[in-house]
Structure 1
Amino acid sequence: MKRLQQMSARTTVLSAASAGRASAFGRRAYQGRPQMLSADDAVKVIKTGDRVFVHSVAAAPQALIHAMTRRAPELRDVEVCHMHIEGDASYADKKYEGSFKNNNFFVGKNVRKGVQEGASITRPEIPLLFRRGILPLDVALITVSPPDQHGFCSLGTSVDASLAAVQCAKTVIAQVNPHMPRTHGDGFVHESAISFMVDGPAPLIEHKRGKVTETIGKIGKYVLVLLMKWRCMIMCMMMHDDEVALALAAATPMVATNVAQLVEDGATLQMGIGVIPDAVLAELTHHKKLGIHTEMFSDGIIDLVERGVITGENKVIAPRTITVGFCLGTKRLYDFVHENPAVQFRAIEWVNNPILIKENPKMTAINSAVEVDLSGQICADSIGSKLYSGVGGQMDFMRGAALSHGGKPIIALPSTTSRGESKIVPRLKRGAGVVTTRAHVHWVVTEWGAVNLFGKPVKERMKALISIAHPLHRPWLEKEVERGFWFDVDENSPKIPESAHVDEWMAAMASAAAAEPRWRVKW
């Protein structure tokens, strides 16, 4: 009886999670084939004061964005909503601030300088803003694959919250791009749900992976050893930028190795984009029966699929398929997902639902952070009060993995920034946002090791986190703990004064070491 009740509850959850998915024809009455227009003519429908949604990541409709931006002199207070987008986002330029205002659910590099507003919201809740009329949409600008013989287009590489935008916007303008992969899952949109189509063939924007050759890797590790031996920040002052970059790059495979050791055979993985996730995937070539249920992925999974490492056979939710909301990578990735039924692109409110995520056994969520304080609080979206990225789906997957049988929520990060400052800090910077609370943090991994904070009291957490901080910073962190750092503010990690002469800085360090024996670093 108990088992039947559990199955009934799970069926209810699945039904609720699927309730917001698109019908094949959207929410509009059938209106026939959409009118074909030029980009400039199509965006004339945008009026002063409208709210416009822009398709996400590599699916950003560049022709429509350019055409909308060209109308800046005619428009005032057009609110542009989007998650992270790739490519041109010139409407976010300060010179257009009277014409366009930005509501960024996730801040990318191309809009970071021009950010005026940033909605601090998790990705699964973004569709609710549209569906509940909290952010009613006037226009949605999207990219789709050409319609098939039945009139169906595909949202391609980004289904995420874009599906809800298509369903809810009063007017949908689609850039039809034959380079857009036709992907399986929730992303099929019938042409009757589109108001205007624009012919816009263009290669998708690619996100190239940083490649570290064996030689460069060896050099980087050698430089890192030198930095450790001669006190990292003093050496950095005497090195060229490319040498420092090599040393910092060497930390990434060390972090990845430590993370990979936590991944069990049969696990289901969630990971983000960047050098650490790709490096982790590269370490998993000898694992077996892995699955993927993730908000996004990049090229790193392809090799594991081809090697037979990723099979999805142990997944409970969508077994034997790769579940994803959007992808970003190279043409190789876009070719891989094109017409591939093994890769299912789902609406973000379904992909990121912790109730569904937890159903996969050994769910292993691998996320990163800007900084971690000694109580375990995770800042992942800002540098102090400056919004740097966004909340994304970190909370959802951290929670889902924690509730999964044998699951592991993991925060992975290098121990220092590119300037040599510690990423493990006594307290977060003033104004920093907490994305994952200390109550929800389990594993934290750096190049110096991995610690599990779950169930540990604050003092044990502090000791554990200090043990995986960079050795140079451990005495400072210990000193802060001793003097009760939680009562103080505005204390910073030691760093190199930009104007300091090498000899002056070395003399200052020697003086500090003589005055305070705890500052001596033993290597």
Structure 2
Amino acid sequence: MNTPHLPQPDTTAFPDLTRLIRPGDTVMWGQANAEPLTLIQALVNQRHALGRLRVFLGIGQSDLLRPEQADAIDFLAYCGSGTNRALAQAGVLDILPVHYSQFPRLIEQRMLRIDVLMLQVSPPDALGRYSLGLAREYLLPALRSARVILAEVDPSVPWTYGGPYLQASDFALMIPSSLTSVSAPASAPGPLETAIGRHVAGFIEDGATLQTGIGNIPDAVLAQLRDRRELGVHSGAIGDGIATLAQAGVITNSCKGIDVGVSVGGVLIGSDTVRRYAHLNDALELRGTDYTHSPHVLGKLDRFVAINSAIEVDLGGQVNSEVAGDRYVGGVGGILDFLRAAQSSRGGVPIIALPSTAGNRSRIVASLSGPVTVPRSDGCVIITEHGVADLRGLSLAQRVNRLIAVAAPEHREALERQARSR
């Protein structure tokens, strides 16, 4: 994901936040495309006047937050993705390692206390209702519990369905956006991603309901599905690939069993393609995390195919999606919420798709170098550009050969030696 370098405008154009934000407050805002950039810049500019704060971050996409701002801000995040990596590398990012499905309860019960919620919203509709635009997910419990709600109206943000819809009176402060909203167009999949996409597509039948992450591999998978029929979507993130398939008539949501005719997601991450698709489109609804990641809801989906990525997989089938080397670059996120739902879904498939190498290192390893995000008891279908290792129903001994077969050829002999020695 490319990090945009935003211009630094005249700071006098920013609102005064000192009357609204108190020392010790925890501030939250939407992630990725849903970052309210003008409000974030105002907070950064005024951080010393505001007193020490804590901010809770999702995926970072702009370059407004920098390590030197830790002189007045404590950074907390559920992931090390995007521009959060610079904060993590500088040692100023603390991580909350919890499943995505737990966020609503943590916020509602104030175990994760959110005092100030800064929202990016669309312009109002004819009834004067402001849409939350590009994100709902964990913003909804914060909307109910925050002391102060601030809004930034961005004309490039689509008016999206799923509620809640807000009035001007709901905000302690409402300002127009004065910074260009960030888009995240994916680069075209290369041969490696295309090979992975073809293997994954072999598990997706007509009428399946999909969950995908974001990035080149999910887009490569979706690009292989243009000959499918009646697909559905229930996902945390929705991007350009989903929008393209929906506009082509491949995604109809006619076979989901719930939310028939409607794609469901939590956040839109992509380019103008997904923004145009989403605007005033009642065939797409953004919902809160307590719906998108709910075991009760997910349990109603048949043929649910969950497609996620990881940093490494060991020869027993354990998955690390958080740490690469000594750096926190991923997250727990919703990976286990969705994989377990796919495991239990009638006709479902839990998939981990990843390149076989990172630089000169194998991503199929004898032992994980980071934490166990997905335990071996949740054996999944592991896919690389070299093939498929379906671990479901296999013993530990059987898994070794299957996983070595999808490792890069130059690493297989070493993996075999390490397996024998263990």
TM-score normalised over the length of structure 1: 0.75
How has the CA–CA distance of structure 1 residues 68 and 179 changed in structure 2, closer, same or farther, with 3 Å as cutoff?
Answer: same
Alignment partner, residue 320 of structure 1: 261
Q: 8 Å contact 2:188–2:216 — kept in the other structure?
A: no
Of 362, 373, 377, which aligns to 1:435?
Answer: 373
Distance in 2 between residues matched to 1:42 and 1:311, nearest whole Å: 45
Show structure 1 runs of 5+ residues with no match.
1-36, 213-248, 485-523
Q: 8 Å contact 2:312–2:368 — kept in the other structure?
A: yes
Alignment partner, residue 142 of structure 2: 165
Distance in 1 between residues matched to 2:107 and 2:64, nearest whole Å: 22
1:105 aligns with 2:78: yes
Please state which structure has a larger fraction of its residues in helix: 1
Q: 8 Å contact 2:17–2:43 — kept in the other structure?
A: no
Q: CA deviation at 1:167?
A: 1.5
How has the CA–CA distance of structure 1 residues 283 and 346 changed in structure 2, closer, same or farther, with 3 Å as cutoff?
Answer: same
Q: 8 Å contact 1:384–1:428 — kept in the other structure?
A: no
Q: CA deviation at 1:168?
A: 1.0
Where do residues 270-419 of structure 1 align in structure 2 (5 Å cutoff)?
270-417=211-358, 419=359
Q: Can you list the C-alpha shifts for 1:68-117, whole angstroms capped at 9, x where unaligned?
A: 11112324430001211321332xx2322130001112223212222321
Distance in 2 between residues matched to 1:340 and 1:256, nearest whole Å: 28
Alignment partner, residue 5 of structure 2: none
Of 475, 478, 484, which aligns to 2:413?
Answer: 475
Alignment partner, residue 188 of structure 1: 165
Distance in 2 between residues matched to 1:398 and 1:473, nearest whole Å: 27
**SS in structure 2 opposite 1:40?**
coil
Q: CA deviation at 1:38?
A: 6.5
Amino acid at match of 1:53: M
Distance in 2 between residues matched to 1:302 and 1:162, nearest whole Å: 23
Distance in 2 between residues matched to 1:399 and 1:279, nearest whole Å: 23
1:69 aligns with 2:41: no
Range that drifts further, 384-393 or 463-472: 384-393
Alignment partner, residue 244 of structure 1: none
Alignment partner, residue 459 of structure 1: 397
Distance in 2 between residues matched to 1:137 and 1:309, nearest whole Å: 40
Show structure 2 runs of 5+ residues with no match.
1-11
How has the CA–CA distance of structure 1 residues 158 and 63 changed in structure 2, closer, same or farther, with 3 Å as cutoff?
Answer: same
**SS in structure 2 opposite 1:270?**
strand
Distance in 2 between residues matched to 1:43 and 1:152, nearest whole Å: 27
Alignment partner, residue 26 of structure 2: 51
Q: 8 Å contact 1:270–1:295 — kept in the other structure?
A: yes
Distance in 1 between residues matched to 2:285 and 2:179, nearest whole Å: 24
Alignment partner, residue 62 of structure 2: 87
Q: CA deviation at 1:457?
A: 0.9
Q: Can you list the C-alpha shifts for 1:35-75, whole angstroms capped at 9, x where unaligned?
A: xx974224542222111112222111110111111112324
Q: Give the root-mean-square deviation of aligned CA atoms.
A: 1.7
Range that drifts further, 110-119 or 318-327: 110-119
Alignment partner, residue 388 of structure 2: 450
Q: CA deviation at 1:187?
A: 4.1
How has the CA–CA distance of structure 1 residues 177 and 409 changed in structure 2, closer, same or farther, with 3 Å as cutoff?
Answer: same
Q: Can you list the C-alpha shifts for 1:456-512, whole angstroms capped at 9, x where unaligned?
A: 11110111101111111111111111111xxxxxxxxxxxxxxxxxxxxxxxxxxxx
**SS in structure 2 opposite 1:409?**
strand
Distance in 2 between residues matched to 1:121 and 1:312, nearest whole Å: 30
Distance in 1 between residues matched to 2:150 and 2:354, nearest whole Å: 40
Q: Can you list the C-alpha shifts for 1:431-466, whole angstroms capped at 9, x where unaligned?
A: x12211111122111111112111211110111101
Amino acid at match of 2:388: A
Alignment partner, residue 420 of structure 1: 360
Q: 8 Å contact 1:52–1:138 — kept in the other structure?
A: yes
Q: 8 Å contact 2:18–2:50 — kept in the other structure?
A: no
Q: CA deviation at 1:139?
A: 1.0
Q: 8 Å contact 2:38–2:178 — kept in the other structure?
A: no
Amino acid at match of 1:469: A
How has the CA–CA distance of structure 1 residues 94 and 82 changed in structure 2, closer, same or farther, with 3 Å as cutoff?
Answer: closer
Amino acid at match of 2:26: R
Amino acid at match of 2:144: Q
1:131 aligns with 2:72: no
Q: Percent identity?
A: 32
Range that drifts further, 371-380 or 49-58: 49-58
Distance in 2 between residues matched to 1:482 and 1:473, nearest whole Å: 15
Q: 8 Å contact 1:187–1:346 — kept in the other structure?
A: no
Q: 8 Å contact 2:209–2:233 — kept in the other structure?
A: yes
Q: CA deviation at 1:385?
A: 4.5
Q: 8 Å contact 1:352–1:393 — kept in the other structure?
A: yes
Q: 8 Å contact 1:83–1:106 — kept in the other structure?
A: yes
Distance in 2 between residues matched to 1:389 and 1:467, nearest whole Å: 26
Distance in 2 between residues matched to 1:315 and 1:87, nearest whole Å: 35
Q: How many residues align?
A: 407
**SS in structure 2 opposite 1:285?**
coil
Distance in 2 between residues matched to 1:358 and 1:482, nearest whole Å: 40
Amino acid at match of 1:404: S
Amino acid at match of 1:100: I
- Which of structures 1 and 2 has the bigger CA Rg? 1
Alignment partner, residue 143 of structure 1: 120
Amino acid at match of 2:158: P
Amino acid at match of 1:61: P
Where do residues 479-498 of structure 1 align in structure 2 (5 Å cutoff)?
479-484=417-422
Distance in 1 between residues matched to 2:23 and 2:168, nearest whole Å: 27
**SS in structure 2 opposite 1:179?**
coil
Distance in 2 between residues matched to 1:107 and 1:482, nearest whole Å: 35
Amino acid at match of 1:74: A
Distance in 2 between residues matched to 1:136 and 1:307, nearest whole Å: 43
Q: 8 Å contact 1:355–1:400 — kept in the other structure?
A: no
Distance in 2 between residues matched to 1:483 and 1:106, nearest whole Å: 35
Q: CA deviation at 1:145?
A: 1.4
Distance in 2 between residues matched to 1:132 and 1:279, nearest whole Å: 40
Q: Can you list the C-alpha shifts for 1:127-176, whole angstroms capped at 9, x where unaligned?
A: 22221011222211111112334442111111111122122110011011
